[in-house]
Structure 1
Amino acid sequence: MGRDDAAAPQRGRIERVGATRERILVTAERLFAEHGVFAVSNRQIGEAAGQGNTAAVGYHFGARTGLVRAIVRRHAEPIERVRERMVAVIGDRPDLRDQVSCLVRPSTEHLAALGVPSWYARFSAQVLADASLREVVLDEALASPALRRLLAGLHRCRPDLPAEVVDERDGMTGQLIVHLCAERERALAAGTATPRATWRDAATGLIDAITGLWSAPASSAPGDRTNTTSDGGVG
């Protein structure tokens, strides 16, 4: 028996394990997107993925955070490739819209490539709604060199605003991206109308909105008492 023949059983086992992990990841992403991360049990995921062993999910991924992290990493690589390319093209150009484009388009291009139906945008919205799981996603995102470079570029080119306003608009930006993408993905899966015809057009609308958001002056710092007119209206 040759060396290749002796290694064949091991290769076969590795391929089977890889295929099992992939089925579990795809199934978990769909179920989490549709029902919520903590509304679905490992048993339900295993059964839907065709696993007779009810402990298969825990065996391959450990705790729920391990499964969520694996799903995020499964999508992170293609998104990172697009972002690296875009960031390299704009370089250190101090243009707010270019920087925002590099923030938005890698994700929308990836969602377009997934086809219909897809579940990653809705999965992301479900995960980011949970404080403990949000940290998992943020840790994975900030491991991206291209994203760290992009965020530094955004910091340099956005208007000079109070720190609390910057924090507020950071949150608004994330919410806009995550939830607009999730709503569009849901509509496409259901076959209902969407405001924009393509993911590329949807990204353009998002870039317009976020650029406008960051360009707007700050009327007052969060927490300041709202001014009112004598007749009770807002001034």
Structure 2
Amino acid sequence: MAPDPEPTRRKLIDAATRLFAEHGVNAVSQAAIVRAAGQRNTAALVYHFKDREGVLRAIVAENVERLRARRLALLGEAAAASPSAMRPVVEALVRPIADLCDGDWRDRAYLQIHADLTGHPVWSSEEVRERVHKGGAPEVLRVVAQRCPDVPDDILEIRSLLVGAFVSRAASARARGIAEGAPEHAFRMSHAKFVANLVDVAVAALTTPVSAETLAADAPPGP
């Protein structure tokens, strides 16, 4: 009977997850992943993933699928609860990411990786970037746009990018503190309050009225 390849595959994924989270996606070599996984040479990684980018794709894929499922479930609950309330819709965007802080080491490590990839998109291939953005956020943001008709599409698009980056960075910073053993009082608020406050900030950023100055910024000068 042929040996089960899954344990080796899992060791490589876990080793890469730890290294990418601790050192940054761009700072980890294929050889370093192999060593950390306890493998003798790079043949194991090549066999399972082809290359370093393949390991990264696998990490992103398994996490994005979970995020998408959670976001769409929360979005369904929001739609059933109210046809117009904004906060539960934005919570569907924010909570699945922020709750990774309260998960296991793999969840917190993925937060570091997610923040790294979204903050430095040139560090990954187009395929990886596309996978990162398939975590259910576009579906949620379409509902945000429907419930926020007074914000022009171009402004809402930029606000969405800013909110996504802010939430990712805030959750990543908290996750790193937990991973490094920071005492509970260092975080100033409980996980539940941290998430609720993130949702508050995201709602405010997405829905605040557009100022006359912003609306007039691209207008041609008067006579």
Asked if these proteins are the same fold (TM beyond 0.5), I'd say: yes
Is the counterpart of residue 175 in structure 1 residue 165 in structure 2?
yes
- If the length of structure 1 is used for normalisation, what is the TM-score? 0.79
Partner of residue 9, structure 2 = 21
2:9 counterpart letter in structure 1: R
Report which of the two structures shows the higher radius of gyration computed on alpha carbons.
1
Does the Cα contact within 8 Å between 2:100 and 2:107 map onto a contact in 1? no
Please identify runs of 4+ aligned residues in structure 1 that moved more than 6 A.
none
Whole-Å Cα distance in 1 between the matches of residues 53 and 215 of structure 2?
33
CA RMSD of aligned residues (A): 2.6
Is the counterpart of residue 150 in structure 1 residue 140 in structure 2?
yes
> Which consecutive unaligned segments of at least 5 residues does structure 1 have?
1-8, 226-235
The equivalent position to 1:95 in structure 2, one of 72, 85, 94, is 85
Is the counterpart of residue 195 in structure 1 residue 214 in structure 2?
no
Does the Cα contact within 8 Å between 1:164 and 1:221 map onto a contact in 2? no
Whole-Å Cα distance in 2 between the matches of residues 190 and 221 of structure 1?
42
What is the CA distance between 1:28 and its match in structure 2? Answer: 0.7
Does the Cα contact within 8 Å between 1:173 and 1:210 map onto a contact in 2? yes
Partner of residue 209, structure 1 = 201
Partner of residue 29, structure 2 = 41
> Which consecutive unaligned segments of at least 5 residues does structure 2 have?
219-223
Identity over aligned residues, as a percent? 28
Partner of residue 3, structure 1 = none
Q: For residues 48 and 207 of structure 1, do their structure 2 counterparts lie closer, same or farther at Cα, with a shift above 3 Å needed?
A: same
What is the CA distance between 1:184 and its match in structure 2? Answer: 0.3
Partner of residue 228, structure 1 = none
1:139 counterpart letter in structure 2: E
Whole-Å Cα distance in 2 between the matches of residues 116 and 148 of structure 1?
24
Per-residue CA deviations over 1:162-198 (Å, capped at 9, x if unaligned) read: 3432232122111111100110001112232113222
Whole-Å Cα distance in 1 between the matches of residues 160 and 199 of structure 2?
14
